[in-house]
Amino acid sequence: MLNDPTTVLRGVGPKKALILKEEAGIETIEDLLYYAPRRYVDRSHFKLIKDCFVNELVTISGTISDVRVVRRRKRMLEVVIDDGTDTCTGVFFGGIDYFLKLFTTGDTVIFSGKINFFRVKQITHPEFDFIENADDATHRAINTGRIIPLYRSTEKLKGYGLDSRGFRRIIKPALETYAHQVIETLPEEFLAAHSLPGLRESLYAIHFPDSFDHAERARKRLAFNEIFFHQYYLAISRRFIRETSNRPAAEINTDLFHELAASLPFKLTEDQKTAIEEIRRDMSSPFPMNRLLQGDVGSGKTVVAMAAALFANGLGVQTAIMAPTELLAQQHFNTFQRLIGNRLRTVLLIGGLSSADRRKAYDAIASGGADLVIGTHAIIQEEVRFKKLGLIVIDEQHRFGVEQRSALREKGDETDLLVMTATPIPRSLSLTLYGDLSVSSIRTMPADRIPVKTLAFPESRLSGVYNSIEKYISLGRQAYYVLPLVEDSDKLDLKSAIGVFEHLKNEIFINRRVELIHGRMKQPERDAIMERFKRGEIDILVSTTVIEVGIDVPNASIIVVEHAERFGLAQLHQLRGRVGRGSHQSFCILITPDDISDEARARIETIVSTTDGFIISEEDLRQRGAGELIGVRQHGHGAEFEFADLSVDIDLILHAREFAEQSVARIDDITRLWREFRNRKYGPLLDGIRNKRILSILS
């Protein structure tokens, strides 16, 4: 049976089974069949080493003639192989003691990778495999002469013979013995219409494909499986909420909003107006709002949140706005007070309040004396009780876990939810990870906003950057100076915030006020430094990424990011958003070592070429992939896709969403089906499906 433990397989004893479970989450045969290769290598065509040239991707094989540890700039292992025509060296950095145990002179080994040349032909960190017995037909059939899958394998797995070779050795018989038990999940006519292979065929092909195209077709089928059932769940959820809500439709009194709009010192952009109208419609509807508001730093999301709070007041309910830091909560409180004035009775609730002020806030919230509560996670404390909470606004929502969001929502009854992010979300992610939310986007910036100029320089140009900083400080401006590390590290050859702070303060900007801020400082100390910076008492603030979110200092017009190659696109864009908030031209200066990787150079070129966060988010997804771009566990979403690649599978997502909505529309009793989902009885379409990969997506 598919739910048999892996110990039924030859060569998998209790110890190896335990390691499979702990390191790879594999407990059953079915888990093993759905264990996706991380990539493939073509061993259908071997090249003679004499015919290999620089920058070629090749697969070669030969006898190990030498294994040696050498030290140039750093310690490395060199493994020399000889195929009788020439030699090639495999070069390994890190894990040297482990590799020394693997490679033995006289063994026959296969190397795959890109040829480079440093005195001799070499491949840096080649994919490798051993031909243990040239006469072993089974070994050769699954390890050579074909497209070979490579699997994720930890040191513990490898220690129990579960490297890529070990996985191939147990997956092959598992497929041959058990794959016939796999139940097809989708109608044949649908598979034919979308040119998708069957599930069993796909499981064979994902592990032992005839070609790269064969493997890709299999991946798409298995990816569709994941995406479809996730979309099926979301479609049921959306319909259930609409059909079971008990709240009546309501007409919102919008007088306060129109008063605010008329009094603003700026005009609302068309995108802001559209988002506000979408929110008004949601809040007046007979079911709770679930809406994501996304827009670049400075695009005007806060004013949209103000409109939502005024709509809530027009419905006679309270609003709670939760921010990730006390500084950002205080900033929101000040902005609301300045623009809304006494239209709403506003309370600030943060951890730094005195006991008397906290009790006063609790009483106002419970009695209805507070229309609007702005705070941090202090809002979700058990002592906080609302008289009638109707709207929740969560700023920088990715900073909160699902439990925190749920705890706040439970303080009201069928509350409307608006989550905001200054990191625009790629379309494929918004349809999957945020598929239960309607999306409003603010793409246009306010007319008076001056775009930040972004420049990139090698480290050798730092003296010129220092001169520019001095020039603008002499004009009365301020600067941020960002580093990736707090202090020097033995493991990483990077500058640190503490080291650069000392250098700038004592050697470069001797007559300027230079301060340091970083995440190891206690919150009150950080807040005090930021207040001094906002008041203009600091010229240069050396920092780690603690300034990434929620810092608004209009007079700061320069941000320098050293080791910019160490940051992701979204993070660089967020850091750039710390400047450009005032009336002066602002600059973002990216400093990198003279020699950086192609991937890092592509990121730098992207951030220099555009200030559009939506373009940057799509490029970030393309370059890094969804797995690295967004840690779905911390966001409280169950969608941990194994086969789907959200950077390329937008068409699959759209087809899956359409088919899921059609399938759910045909269901008569949505309440029963929702109850089945909640009880882990997944209903007719999932009858017989017990694969943990699918179940984790639906949980």
Please provide the DSSP assignment of 348-413 as one string. Answer: EE-TTS-HHHHHHHHHHHHHT--SEEEESGGGGSTT---SSEEEEEETTGGGS-HHHHHHHHTTSS
In this structure, what token pair is assigned to residue 648? 């390329």
For domain 453-610, give its CATH number from 1.10.3720.10, 3.40.50.2300, 3.40.50.620, 3.40.50.300: 3.40.50.300
Query: Tokens 């990736």 correspond to what residue?
Result: 484
State yes or no: pLDDT of 402 exceeds 70: no
* Cα-based distances in Å from 654 to 169, 198, 291: 37, 20, 20
Asked if the 255-442 domain carries CATH number 3.80.30.20, the reply is no
pLDDT at position 201 is: 93
pLDDT at position 689 is: 47
pLDDT tens digits for range 103-118: 999 988 888 889 998 8
In this structure, what token pair is assigned to residue 664? 């759910």
Of 294 and 139, the structure prediction assigns the larger pLDDT to 294
**Nearest-10 Cα torsion for 40, 44, 48, 51:** -80
Weakest mean pLDDT among 378-382, 614-618, 678-682: 678-682
Extents of the domains making up the chain: 45-145, 203-244+642-698, 255-442, 453-610
Looking at this protein, which amino acid is placed at residue 381?
Q
Alpha carbons within 13 angstroms on the beta-carbon side of residue 55 total 0
Claim: this prediction has a pTM higher than 0.75: no
pLDDT tens digits for range 220-231: 999 998 888 888
- 550, containing H or E segment: none
pLDDT tens digits for range 125-136: 888 877 755 445
Report the percentage of the chain scoring pLDDT > 70.
Answer: 88
453-610 has the same fold as 255-442: yes
pLDDT tens digits for range 505-550: 999 999 999 999 888 888 788 888 888 998 999 999 999 888 766 5
Instruction: Indicate the burial class of 442 (C-beta count within 10 angstroms; 0-12, 13-18, 19 or more).
Output: buried
- 78, containing H or E segment: strand 75-82
Contact 323, 375 (CB under 8 A): yes
Contact 375, 350 (CB under 8 A): yes
Distance CA 691, CA 662 (A): 24
Asked if the 45-145 domain carries CATH number 3.20.20.70, the reply is no
Weakest mean pLDDT among 293-297, 446-450, 692-696: 692-696
pLDDT at position 630 is: 44
DSSP string spanning 320-349?
A: EEE-SSHHHHHHHHHHHHHHHGGGS-EEEE
State yes or no: pLDDT of 637 exceeds 50: no
pLDDT at position 648 is: 81
